[in-house]
Amino acid sequence: MIKAGIVGGTGYTGVELLRLLAAHPSVELAVITSRGEKGVKVSELFPNLRGRVDLAFVEPDGVVLKGCDVVFFATPNGTAMQSVPALLKAGVKIIDLAADFRLRQAEEWEQWYGIPHICPELLTEAVYGLPEVNREAIRSARLVANPGCYPTAVQLGFLPLLEAGVVDPQSLIADAKSGVSGAGRKAEIGFLLCEVGDNFKAYNVPAHRHLPEIRQGLTAVAGGSVELIFTPHLIPMIRGIHATLYATLTDSQVDLQALFEQRYAAEPFVDVLPPKSHPETRAVRGSNQCRLAVHRPQNGKTVVVLSVIDNLVKGAAGQAVQNMNLMFGLPEGTGLEGIALLP
């Protein structure tokens, strides 16, 4: 059994990790940390885990965590990097669900996150945990930077087009919407029910922190610079991301449906829908699936890709478990075969 620890087990990502790992046939939950909830039974805070998780929250302790085979960090940005070097030295594998190791350049990380990076030497070692791109590198990694939710939905939608070189990489537009759980489990006025209910708005249009992560991934695939407009929106639902992606075709003869079907034919968690489909967020709720549909309106020069994921699963905890499976030589879908919830 894989002994797993979770640092920061009280947020929405943390409880989603608990839900998935508690049912994983090859995992033993060894430690779950929270300074604020120290001593509280996990099942008291999260009653859905009653009878499945018997642990209580404990304070983060390097000695205890060093006894794990893998530690997941479901913590605010800037937290994981304080503990990761010592855990790696002790032979523990790390999956960070925050942004501490997603960007390759320390200067860029500091520009976007506003604090110095404590261990910049690990940025080049960390493997970006998008299995559809880096599967083999993830298998041998000891430190995985789990992708963000928006970056997962956007990159999976653009990848086939950029890999095949059939669109202008300077023409990319990502118009994305997220449920409120993407903002985390915290008390802020802007996320109260009366603020988000019956409401719809864009935010962080000039500069969202996920922009450099998305741009970094797309640049690597395109083999050169890309121009990306990324506009996130908040919608009044709990879970889900819907990304509507636009690009200008440079190859008018390309069979877009075949391109997407061939690119993802062997991917267990990417589902390319039939022509003329319109994926819905409810079709992936609670599952690790990304569902895609590709369109070419009026047979014109613009391709439109629709990409939906559950931001807490494929956009966070589920993808982290997918990465753990790869790191420990397990079948990739172990513990992730749950069917989406409807209604």
DSSP per-residue letters across 14-38:
HHHHHHHHHT-TTEEEEEEE-STTT
As a whole number of Å, the CA-based R_g of the chain is 20
Residue type, 146: N
Same fold across 2-125 and 149-311: no
For 134-160, write each residue's pLDDT tens digit: 999 999 999 999 999 999 999 999 999
Average pLDDT over the chain, rounded to an integer: 95
- DSSP secondary structure of 135-190: HHHHHT-SEEEPPPHHHHHHHHHHHHHHHHT-B-TT-EEEEEEE-GGGG-S---GG
| DSSP β-bridge partners for residue 246 | 173, 304
Give the domain ranges of the chain: 2-125, 149-311
CATH says 2-125 is which class? alpha beta
Q: What are phi and psi of 316, to 5 degrees?
A: -160, -95
Q: Which of 68, 119, 149, 290 does the annotation list as catalytic?
A: 149
Q: Would residue 149 show up in a list of annotated catalytic residues for this protein? A: yes
Give the CATH fold of the 149-311 domain: Dihydrodipicolinate Reductase; domain 2 (3.30.360)
DSSP code for 341:
P
Q: Shortest CA distance to 74 belongs to which of 143, 15, 138?
A: 15
Q: Please give the structure tokens belonging to residue 175.
A: 């118009």
Integer Cα distance of 273 and 309 in angstroms: 14
Residue 290 has pLDDT above 80, yes or no: yes
- Residue keyed to tokens 């922190």: 209
Predicted pLDDT at 177: 98
Residue 187 reports pLDDT greater than 80: no
